Amino acid sequence: MTAFPRRALTLKLLLLMLAGMLAGPVLADEDDAPLKLVATTAMIADVLREIGGERVEVQGLMGPGVDPHLYRQTRHDVTAMTRADAVFWNGLNLEAQLRNFLSRLAERKPVFAVGEAVPVEQRLADEAYPDQPDPHVWMDPGRWLWVVEGIRDALAELAPEHAQEFEARTDAYLAKLEALDGYAAMVLDSVPASSRVLVTAHDAFGYFGDAYEYEVMGIQGFSTESEAGLARIESLVDVLVDRRIGAIFIESSVSDRNVQALVEGAAAEGWTVEIGGELFSDAMGPAATYEGTWLGMFDHNVTLIARALGGEAPTGGRLERLGQEEVSE
């Protein structure tokens, strides 16, 4: 480092001290306190933290294993949402039980349905109910990036003075998302074409299947609100047996009862189906683990699916970080 003439250095120090004194009270001012945000799902909470950095203080309502289709707000949640500067939810009919509360809350404070950032023409819907979109938009990086950008724009609206910072953090985050998408395409393509069938507890993987050209079949529909009938179980057993499908998957936020029924039904017809493992569908892994982030959750899913269906993927996933206890960051 070049040495400054002593007098210049002193002057510089003085200016810095003065700037510090001036900045002090402003920093402590409420105007620059972190935004208090509440997110319904852990996927949304994770992206808010990634994009918001130290400008936000995020509380996620739903932890690991919690089913958002059935979730009802607790008294504690109501307090948190009432006190928050803004509330973020997925929308697209995911959090069906919270809808009334959130639409009333939206009359009093900013409430963002971030799933709706996915353009209408990119949303999937059941043919029978075209006005009810598939809410699971976090299952395809290509659609999730709309949500990430929607969150960036929402934060910029709430704190315009930090818009540039949110933009830079978004760009860095989307680069990681894109790299993971490339890894996913590679390992999922290593599965033999005839085995690219994903059978799970409910229809959470429609966007995933659309993105990576996998056929997906859920025992229950888009929502876990309605139970699967016996006829649905029987027809899926026939599919497993006829097409010689070797592995099906349980989900961390849905009971494994129906998946076990498929395994038993196939066994009764002389076909052995393995449980390929537990996927994160509507919830993520524990806080402070890699699987507790969107990137880790997605890495876990694609790695597990590829390996269980006969493809090739490293056990530790894209970054050799799967299955480790704590995030070291």
Per CB under 5 A, residues contacting Zn ion are 204, 282
Q: How far is the CB of 142 from Zn ion (least distance, A)?
A: 19
* CA atoms of 160 and 34, how far apart (whole Å): 13
Q: How far is the CB of 281 from Zn ion (least distance, A)?
A: 6
Is residue 312 a contact partner of residue 187, using CB atoms and an 8 Å limit? Answer: yes
Is residue 243 a contact partner of residue 197, using CB atoms and an 8 Å limit? Answer: yes
CB-nearer residue toward Zn ion: 252 or 293: 252
CB-nearer residue toward Zn ion: 250 or 266: 250
Is residue 289 a contact partner of residue 296, using CB atoms and an 8 Å limit? Answer: yes
CB-nearer residue toward Zn ion: 70 or 319: 70
E strand or H helix at 75, and its extent? helix 75-83
CB-nearer residue toward Zn ion: 188 or 204: 204
Q: How far is the CB of 202 from Zn ion (least distance, A)?
A: 6
- Sign of the CA dihedral with 311 first, then 218, 208, and 289 last: negative
Q: How far is the CB of 143 from Zn ion (least distance, A)?
A: 15
What does DSSP assign to residue 228? P
* CA atoms of 179 and 307, how far apart (whole Å): 19
Q: Is 254 exposed, middle or buried (0-12, 13-18, 19+ CB in 10 A)?
A: buried
Is residue 270 a contact partner of residue 250, using CB atoms and an 8 Å limit? Answer: no
CB-nearer residue toward Zn ion: 42 or 204: 204
The residue type of 187 is: V
CB-nearer residue toward Zn ion: 181 or 282: 282
Closest CA to 209 of 292, 309, 120: 309
